[in-house]
Amino acid sequence: MADTPKKCAHPACQCMAPANEKYCSTTCKDAGDMVEIECKCGHPACAI
Ligand SMILES: [Zn+2]
Ligand SMILES: [Zn+2]
């Protein structure tokens, strides 16, 4: 029942995903099957 935001399912991503989404963005969703050391979603939380 909880609809609190949760972290994006991408291991390297620091973003919060929408309550009804596993990933914060399609970028992370597309990368979800790959183990990457950095996130390329472009959100400020992930910008290095
Ligand atoms: Zn990210
Ligand atoms: Zn993400």
Mean pLDDT of 2-22: 85
Residue 34 has pLDDT above 90, yes or no: no
Residues with Cβ within 5 Å of ion ligand 2? Answer: 8, 10, 13, 15, 24, 28, 41
Mean pLDDT for the chain? 83
- The yes-or-no verdict on residue 48 having pLDDT over 70 is no
Q: Count Cα neighbours of 39 within 13 Å in the Cβ-side half-sphere.
A: 25
Q: Is the pLDDT of residue 27 over 70?
A: yes
Supply the pLDDT for residue 37: 75
Task: Give pLDDT, residue 3.
Answer: 62
Contact by Cβ (8 Å): 15, 7: yes
DSSP state of 28: H
Total domains in the chain come to 1
Range of the domain at 14: 1-48
* Distance from residue 1's CA to the centre of ligand 1 (Å): 25
